[in-house]
Structure 1
Amino acid sequence: MTETVTTDADQATSAETFQTLNPATGEVLATLPVESAQQIAGKLADARAAQQWWAQIGFGARKERLLKWRTAISARIEEIAEVIHREGGKPLDDARLEVILAVEHIDWAAKNARKVLGRRNVSPGMLLANYAASVSHVPYGVVGVIGPWNYPVFTPMGSIAYALAAGNTVLFKPSEYTPLVGKWLVESISEVVPEHPVLQLVTGLGQTGADLCTSGVDKIAFTGSTGTGKKVMAACAQNLTPVLMECGGKDVLIVDEDADVPAAVDAAVFGGFSNAGQTCIGTERVYAHEKVYDDVVARLAETARSLVPGDDTGASYGPMTMPSQLDIVRRHVDDALDRGARAVVGGRDSVGERYVAPVVLADVPEDSLAVTEETFGPTITVGKFATVDEAIKKANATRYGLGAAVFSKSRGELIAERLRTGMVSINSVVSFAGMASLPFGGVGDSGFGRIHGADGLREFARAQSIARLRVPIPLNVTSLARRPGMLKMLGKAVAKRFGA
């Protein structure tokens, strides 16, 4: 069934449109407007008016409305999962899991915003002991969220829910590959918050995202590739608009000599092949201790061979959502094999017109594209290490630094603490993403800033400090009428207190 969502008003302002397709079949699902800078400006004005009301109603009323949204989405999981499946290609179970995780984050943000962002007293210190000091976090205003196609509900919700809980309103530009998912989210919240448009949809292509960046929004939260992230930052620099960047990754899974190998392999397969490997925190590299390396490779091969990509209910994973990604996967596999890598599972012929069959590569040179660049497909490279130091060196030899996993019975935390990443799972994979209390984000080319948890709430609010005079005292050091010698005397008192 094809859905057309253009309107006369849309066409009056912008005649350009784009289509969203089912990646498994090529079926046109909808035609949507490429919104202009003028249209974005109109939505921004509406968002500013809405934000005044949204901020004024306070934490309690926002919590009530966000929890209603959580409940509404929970009651319609099957409906939104079907939209995700048709527009993004992932199996329905993967879509269901994504929505369930997103609901958890709405719940956490709504319930913890006051505690994290509300005004709290702090010590004024000795010098100004006659003052009261406090700090709170106030909303930026209107936040622009540019979302990805690979997790079109879960990932942008890490910005949307937290921004709304903090008192902001949001202009949400979903990926042009999954705009109907974004449309569904916007319509669902309007049903429980009918008073004002606290979350609005912006549809279009790359230029639309650029126009959103320069529209005058108060912050941009971006999720996407590192290359596009740099363009977003450059556009935001024109207005000194602050940015949150959640970019790509080249995540590693380390299997220590005392690891539970079957569990490690099961995690690697899920991390590497679920969602057709189109996961920023997905497992792309595995390093196994030399004592368990052969066992890891054999088990990986056995499990990977059993995976079947497709669009039916029995499929292990779906098609590549973005057609251009097929060329990147093909190039990485070809480069590795040309340079001496061994195809344990699959190979050059694994890359088809819509799907990529599982690929497991061993003996891959560490400077090959399959090891150094984000592949974003159902491929895994497997390497060997003799010592923990070697494993750490190989794991950290990347400009990315998003997530990682470590399987070890005795040295998990010791290894995890040495990894140059924002997040690590020990004896599991990607578990940190499902914990709403944990911050999510990376370092290096994986970006900066954090979504989720208390850090995620603070990401969408600015600190405001207030110092209030409680009791006037004669010793007023912030006055030019102070007595001569006052600061000299005070200096002696400080030296006595803090001196050796």
Structure 2
Amino acid sequence: MTRTTTAARHDSGPDPIGGVAGAPPASRGTGLVERAVTGPGLESVTMSAPFTGLPTAVLPQADDALARAAFAHARTGQPSWAATSPSERERVLLRLHDLVLAHRDEGLDLVQVESGKARLDAFDEISATALVAAYYGRHSARLLATRRAPGALPLLTRATHVRRPRGVVGVISPWNYPLALTAMDVLPALAAGNTVVQKPDNQTALSALWLHEMAERAGLPRDAWQIVLGRGSAIGDAIVEESDYVCFTGSTPTGKRLASAIAGRLTGYSLELGGKNPMIVLPGADVKAAAAGAVSACFSSAGQLCVSVERIYVHDSVRERFLAAFAERTRALRLGAALDHRAGMGSLTNEDQLRAVSEHVADARANGATVVTGGRARPDVGPLFYEPTILTGVTDRCAVFADETFGPVVSVYGYTDVADAVSRANDTAFGLNASVWSRDTRLAREVALRLNAGTVNVNEGYAATFGTVGVPMGGMKDSGVGRRNGAEGLLRYTESQSVAVQHGLRLRPGRGVPPALWTAALTAGLRLLRRLPGR
């Protein structure tokens, strides 16, 4: 049975956010909410903490007119932010890096209170945010620099490639990784010289507003990044119609509808969507290491991570040993609702997720699957807790076989042939993340290159690629369009412009030069150019 911890009682002063012991006072949350764009006569919603069910914040809900006004304001301020040198924008991000780490504990508290994560999982968000700020704080000026290209005629044609900011970027962020995904999408947009209007999910708005405050303290003009709170049904049209580029993270159906709406405007977009991520344990793998890795890959953030593993294919030669070790480690996970490091897994974030997880497990049971461990809600720990769950015997009659659960549920399958395992791993509409485990890393890399996923981790579930900001992250197939992180994560927010200056000789025959003579001379020149270095 999965163990539990009770919430430790710390002196957090009167009225902590969400009624969670040790959380910042409610007045701190109220101050953060005041950073959001607001106006008279708005409706409001009250959000609650997953750990307790008690209120965390009362949030103003923007309407269409207010959202459009935020974009107009951002557009007015964008030229002055773009005129700031790339090196100065880098310095802002490096100061932000230092502030996020210096105020780590408050950031951890807010993420835990709003999302229900275990503290170690919340720290993933702090570390990812710092890594993103540091990467673009060191590399964005170089990546954005104007580049020379060989001109049509050597010495006479001076060609350059320029990167220009798109203008105002609209960012729609989810509730599951409110700091990390905000940083990955907002910070490179700002580094490229754009201004940003972000709509974070209401559930985790305080976390995004906290990072917004840190950015302002780091020197970012407040108007360069504006946060509007509201329902997608009320302000979604404004985001689509007013943005020069849209960045969305969320479900595949919503992403497809959004892409259709954006297509009519011929503006750019990137989408990170759903996944049904596989893990393959090859014959001869270190079973203990793979089992430990599977616990992190499947149950971090209670499985509410776009790159979480939901399917594991284990070679029959090690399947029984792996399953036993995996189940033992899973049963040893502590569930807890305290703002400390004692819990190994936290809560689900909202009632919809608890319902979806419960329905997937019940359906699997009804269709003949075996629950190895877990398989039940834990209201004794908190209103939205569910035990980490391992299933076997899952067939295509079960919804969990192909549909994303987005919770702490994983199905384990056996195989005898590696080619079959690769084929089954690829037999999905999704292609976001994958994991391969083997002592033979050369073989594991060969298998990784055969998997249709945007990121593949060898001897790690997801953290190796997730934490390496210098490489792109994104999905294939129904898992999305475009990439965040790395050079692509920055350059997606720019327009390419080519500027060529011609000196002396024109690129058409001059007066009195026969066209036949001109083309013959140019043909000889083209043959010579092919042999020149750098062409």
State the TM bucket, normalised to the shorter chain. over 0.9
Q: Please say if 1:256 is aligned against 2:282.
A: yes
Match of 1:38 in 2: 65
* Letter paired with 2:358: R
Tell me the CA shift for residue 223 of structure 1. 0.7
Q: Please say if 1:133 is aligned against 2:159.
A: yes
Match of 1:316 in 2: 344
1:216-252 deviations in Å (ceiling 9; x for gaps): 1111111111112122223323433321101111111
1:411-470 deviations in Å (ceiling 9; x for gaps): 11110000000001111121100011111101111101111111111111121111111x
Tell me the CA shift for residue 293 of structure 1. 0.8
Match of 2:428 among 398, 421, 424: 398
Match of 2:332 among 306, 328, 331: 306
Q: How does 1:36-185 map to 2 (within 5 A)?
A: 36-125=63-152, 130-185=156-211
Distance in 1 between residues matched to 2:37 and 2:201, nearest whole Å:
19
Tell me the CA shift for residue 335 of structure 1. 2.4
Match of 1:368 among 372, 394, 398: 398
Q: How does 1:478-489 map to 2 (within 5 A)?
A: 483-486=514-517, 488-489=519-520
Match of 2:447 among 403, 411, 415: 415
Distance in 2 between residues matched to 1:481 and 1:181, nearest whole Å:
71
Match of 2:505 among 467, 473, 495: 473
1:382-422 deviations in Å (ceiling 9; x for gaps): 01111111011010001110111101122111100000000
Report the CA distance shift for 1:482/1:408 in structure 2 as closer, same or farther (over 3 A). farther
Unaligned runs of 5+ in 2: 1-14, 16-25, 531-535
Q: What is the SS of the residue equivalent to 1:315?
A: coil
Q: Note if contact 2:170-2:246 (Cα within 8 Å) is conserved in structure 1.
A: yes
Match of 1:199 in 2: 225
Identity in percent: 33
Q: Note if contact 2:64-2:235 (Cα within 8 Å) is conserved in structure 1.
A: no
1:264-303 deviations in Å (ceiling 9; x for gaps): 1111111111111101001111101111111111111111
Match of 2:237 in 1: 211
Match of 1:434 among 467, 478, 487: 467
Distance in 2 between residues matched to 1:262 and 1:212, nearest whole Å:
51
Q: Note if contact 1:22-1:88 (Cα within 8 Å) is conserved in structure 2.
A: yes
Tell me the CA shift for residue 11 of structure 1. 7.4
Distance in 1 between residues matched to 2:511 and 2:450, nearest whole Å:
52
Match of 1:456 in 2: 489
* Letter paired with 1:441: G
Tell me the CA shift for residue 104 of structure 1. 0.9
Distance in 1 between residues matched to 2:274 and 2:297, nearest whole Å:
15
1:320-353 deviations in Å (ceiling 9; x for gaps): 1021112221222122222222211123x34765
Match of 2:52 in 1: 25
Q: What is the SS of the residue equivalent to 1:309?
A: strand
* Letter paired with 1:432: T
Report the CA distance shift for 1:268/1:212 in structure 2 as closer, same or farther (over 3 A). farther
Report the CA distance shift for 1:212/1:67 in structure 2 as closer, same or farther (over 3 A). farther
Match of 1:332 in 2: 360
Distance in 1 between residues matched to 2:221 and 2:353, nearest whole Å:
41
Distance in 1 between residues matched to 2:235 and 2:436, nearest whole Å:
37
Distance in 1 between residues matched to 2:81 and 2:137, nearest whole Å:
13
Q: Note if contact 2:96-2:214 (Cα within 8 Å) is conserved in structure 1.
A: yes
Q: Please say if 1:357 is aligned against 2:381.
A: no
Distance in 2 between residues matched to 1:202 and 1:267, nearest whole Å:
38
* Letter paired with 1:483: P
* Letter paired with 2:469: A
Q: Note if contact 1:117-1:166 (Cα within 8 Å) is conserved in structure 2.
A: yes
Report the CA distance shift for 1:462/1:10 in structure 2 as closer, same or farther (over 3 A). closer
* Letter paired with 2:106: E
Report the CA distance shift for 1:276/1:128 in structure 2 as closer, same or farther (over 3 A). same
Q: What is the SS of the residue equivalent to 1:361?
A: strand
Distance in 1 between residues matched to 2:131 and 2:160, nearest whole Å:
31
Distance in 2 between residues matched to 1:111 and 1:172, nearest whole Å:
24
Question: CA RMSD of the aligned region, Å?
Answer: 2.4
Distance in 2 between residues matched to 1:63 and 1:201, nearest whole Å:
22
1:304-335 deviations in Å (ceiling 9; x for gaps): 11123231343221211021112221222122
Moved more, 208-217 or 381-390: 208-217
Q: What is the SS of the residue equivalent to 2:151?
A: coil
Tell me the CA shift for residue 374 of structure 1. 0.7
Match of 2:212 among 174, 186, 189: 186
Tell me the CA shift for residue 164 of structure 1. 1.0
Q: What is the SS of the residue equivalent to 1:276?
A: helix
Report the CA distance shift for 1:485/1:179 in structure 2 as closer, same or farther (over 3 A). same
Q: Note if contact 2:39-2:66 (Cα within 8 Å) is conserved in structure 1.
A: no
Report the CA distance shift for 1:385/1:152 in structure 2 as closer, same or farther (over 3 A). same
Q: What is the SS of the residue equivalent to 1:39?
A: helix
Q: Note if contact 2:312-2:410 (Cα within 8 Å) is conserved in structure 1.
A: yes
Distance in 2 between residues matched to 1:345 and 1:251, nearest whole Å:
20
Unaligned runs of 5+ in 1: none
Report the CA distance shift for 1:367/1:120 in structure 2 as closer, same or farther (over 3 A). farther
Match of 2:409 among 373, 379, 383: 379
Across the two proteins, how many residue pairs are aligned to each other?
Answer: 494
* Letter paired with 2:425: A
Distance in 1 between residues matched to 2:377 and 2:520, nearest whole Å:
79
Report the CA distance shift for 1:217/1:290 in structure 2 as closer, same or farther (over 3 A). same
Tell me the CA shift for residue 494 of structure 1. 7.8
TM-score with structure 1 setting the length: 0.93
Report the CA distance shift for 1:183/1:130 in structure 2 as closer, same or farther (over 3 A). same
Q: Note if contact 1:218-1:241 (Cα within 8 Å) is conserved in structure 2.
A: yes
Q: Please say if 1:425 is aligned against 2:454.
A: no
Q: Please say if 1:222 is aligned against 2:248.
A: yes
Q: Note if contact 2:132-2:469 (Cα within 8 Å) is conserved in structure 1.
A: yes
Distance in 2 between residues matched to 1:128 and 1:140, nearest whole Å:
32
* Letter paired with 1:378: P
Q: Note if contact 1:13-1:36 (Cα within 8 Å) is conserved in structure 2.
A: no
Distance in 1 between residues matched to 2:420 and 2:393, nearest whole Å:
16
TM-score with structure 2 setting the length: 0.87
